[in-house]
Structure 1
Amino acid sequence: MSTVSIFDDARFPLGPFVPYEGNPIMRPRGNSWESSNLYNPAALVVDDEVVLLYRAHAEDIVSHVGLARSTDGFHFEREPEPILSPEHDYERFGCEDPRIAFIDGTYYLTYTGWDRTSAQLCLATSTDLHTWTKHGPLFEDFDTFATVDPRGHAWSKAGVIVPFRIQGKWWMYFGEGAIYWATSDDLISWTPGTSQDEPMYEPTPGSFDRDLVEIGTSPVLTDNGLLLMLTNGAVRHVYDDHVDVDYRCGQVVIDPAEPTKVLARTQEPWLAPQTYEDTHGLVSNVTFVEGLVKFRGRWLAYYGQSDTTLAVAVHDPASPWGAPSALAD
């Protein structure tokens, strides 16, 4: 088995991305574990197919991770049973929001373990995408909202692993609320580089990510050697009787020579809620990206729509900024 590297001729900012006209590409189905909501996929290329590891659940809102494959990146065949399901107390109400890296024959899957109090970043490993060894929460007693809106307990969801060493270490960027970094010698045990009071990137006042920023996709290497990652940002609208959120997608870039600092960020989102599915669902007004691959000459960014359906946006390097064209089904 071989995988196609996700590191290939990218530039910052990456895009433009155009939502696929055939979206949503996956919806909930049947009366099974994925009957109510299906969203937020990790993505990679394996044996000339796009593989998605996606989050889904039934009416109980207990999330599992499923697997789907595609020969064109748009039409997917799903496996009938989830590949990762809750087993332990820290994840008893859900295995959520996967991201994935493939390094030296092993898949490293980060995901959120949810017990309805703490959302903790967890790690699982596999050599075949089906049999997984769970290594538990990575950053217990760490709150990535500490400087934004403190949770007062463990909260460390969202993590992406850089699939090559930087300065002799393995690196991970993680966090919802604000973004932090961690390093490892073995890809299993990870140590945060700072305290929870010292994030490397926080929300930007007055911007589309003014209330929350979260790591989105695994990094890609740009053509000038910088690390580019797609991100998620949110704005909260507070009313007398409720709070609404609006999630949009941005980008950041990091210099491996100074990997603890965000060098630049996009000033405007490259993807925002616009279609019916983007604006109606379990959590409305959400476009939330977690998967990015280069496949057959085009960049495919996979995202959840309002925590209910799954979609893809496409960047064709032959289409410059300012001249996007939608892709027909």
Structure 2
Amino acid sequence: MKNRILPLLFWGLVAIFLFNSCASKSVQKATEESSQMEYDWMIGPFVKRLDINPCLKPDKNAKFFDPIRKKEVHWQNVNAYNPAAIVKDGKVYLLFRAEDDLGKYNGTSRIGLAISEDGYNFVCEPEPVIYPDNDEFKSVEWEGGCEDPRVIESREGKYYIYYTSYEGTTALLCCAVSDDLKQWKKYGPIFRKALNGKYANLWSKSGAVVCKQEGEHFYPVKIREKYWMYWGESNIYAATSDDLINWEPVEYLADGTDLNRSRRIVDDQIPENATDDQKVLMPVITPRTDDYDGYLCEPGPQALLTDDGIVLIYNGKGDNPDRDGIFYAGGQLLLDPQNPIHVIMRTTKPFIWPTESYDIWRWSPNKKSGNCFLENLVYFKGKYIMYYGAADHEVAVAEVQ
């Protein structure tokens, strides 16, 4: 018996050593990736939870009666990704984009809800909470769907979600409001009433509202008597609002004046006699050639008003460091709290990017291209947790330790 036990004990110890060694290397890999913090005003460093990820996967068995198709569909059998998140009643509520495989656009998107008591293990509600329906907004949501949400809460206990509608031609940034994160009232495209409808049909996505943290809550804050939002895909723009539902894009006078100077002027007023053709969208940032955000820039989680200024985490699409693929990676901006269109500093390298197998696009021919698409940040049980869309397929999590 002793002769049998000793070899088993020996090989058991070897297995434990090898496991711990691999785990240590994985943690070291994640830590090295996320330790790339250029400036002390940045939020981070973030470490991917390799032991947890992906924390949410598509559910091929989830069914839902589609009110437009008038039949039962497997509403998240292809993808479950690009999440918003918020803390409510001591739990994390995850609002994620789910896709089926029906229709002419290779699937309709809907927004599902998953809830977690620890921030890592989620239980999904059986049906989506926001989806195309036979309502007044069907014309802008069907049949591409409802995509890529961000969510905030007000001090009055209202929840505001900003999501993208897509009818097959134009993406429009929309708003809905809820008291419980389950039942939502849609208000439609957020720019449809602004400036006599000038930007009502403008391609628009990804609304990140400026908020201030109070404990586990992030409340929208007014700056110069307005709420502020960063939005856009390619360039990042700004918009202001009085009610968090209807927003007006920030413009400037395109008269040949240096754009950087226009951004720095706090009270730069457009003359009343300026024509609509002279007034154009004010870009806060634009892509940088041959950089990690060389193809496009897109807002990520809610922007945070901090002691250093407004910090905006954003998504950049560009070449990966090895120049053998493309990826979505995360950057950060520091903006002037007295003038939210003025960029004080901008990261020159990403602080998070695709590194793990679940970050890599399934269709990537060289397995070097993928994405970490950042959408919402929570403060839960004493730490910042950021949820992101991994490879346009699943949800993964990174946290500040």
- Assess, with a 3 A threshold, how the Cα gap between structure 1 residues 277 and 134 changes in structure 2: closer, same or farther: same
| Alpha-carbon contact 1:249-1:269 (below 8 Å) kept | yes
Please report the TM-score for the alignment, with normalisation by the length of structure 1.
Answer: 0.83
The structure carrying a bigger helix percent of its residues is: 2
2:349 equivalent to 1:265: no
2:288 corresponds, among 196, 204, 221, to 204
- Assess, with a 3 A threshold, how the Cα gap between structure 1 residues 226 and 291 changes in structure 2: closer, same or farther: same
Query: d(CA) in 2 for partners of 1:98 and 1:292?
Result: 12
**Cα displacement (A) at 1:255:** 2.0
Map of 1:232 onto structure 2: 315
List alignment gaps of at least 5 residues for structure 1: 1-10, 143-152, 238-243, 317-329
| Alpha-carbon contact 2:207-2:229 (below 8 Å) kept | yes
Structure 1 counterpart of 2:113, which letter?
L
Look at both structures and tell me which one has the larger radius of gyration over its CA atoms. Answer: 2
**Cα displacement (A) at 1:16:** 1.3
Map of 2:140 onto structure 1: 90
Query: d(CA) in 1 for partners of 2:93 and 2:309?
Result: 26
2:110 equivalent to 1:64: yes
2:131 equivalent to 1:48: no
**Cα displacement (A) at 1:196:** 4.7
Q: 3-state DSSP class of the match of 2:183?
A: coil
**Cα displacement (A) at 1:198:** 2.8
**Cα displacement (A) at 1:282:** 6.5
1:108-156 deviation per Cα after TM superposition (whole angstroms, max 9, x unaligned): 11000011110111111111112211111123599xxxxxxxxxx7311
| Alpha-carbon contact 1:282-1:307 (below 8 Å) kept | no
1:215-241 deviation per Cα after TM superposition (whole angstroms, max 9, x unaligned): 00002232x25221211000169xxxx
List alignment gaps of at least 5 residues for structure 2: 1-39, 62-73, 195-200, 211-219, 252-278
Please report the TM-score for the alignment, with normalisation by the length of structure 2.
Answer: 0.69
| Alpha-carbon contact 1:282-1:308 (below 8 Å) kept | no
Number of aligned residue pairs: give it.
290
Query: d(CA) in 1 for partners of 2:319 and 2:167?
Result: 24
**Cα displacement (A) at 1:77:** 1.1
1:69-123 deviation per Cα after TM superposition (whole angstroms, max 9, x unaligned): 1111111111111010012110111100000110122111100001111011111
1:42-78 deviation per Cα after TM superposition (whole angstroms, max 9, x unaligned): 1111111111110011113211101111111111111
**Cα displacement (A) at 1:197:** 4.5
| Alpha-carbon contact 2:361-2:392 (below 8 Å) kept | no
Map of 1:13 onto structure 2: 42
2:383 equivalent to 1:298: yes
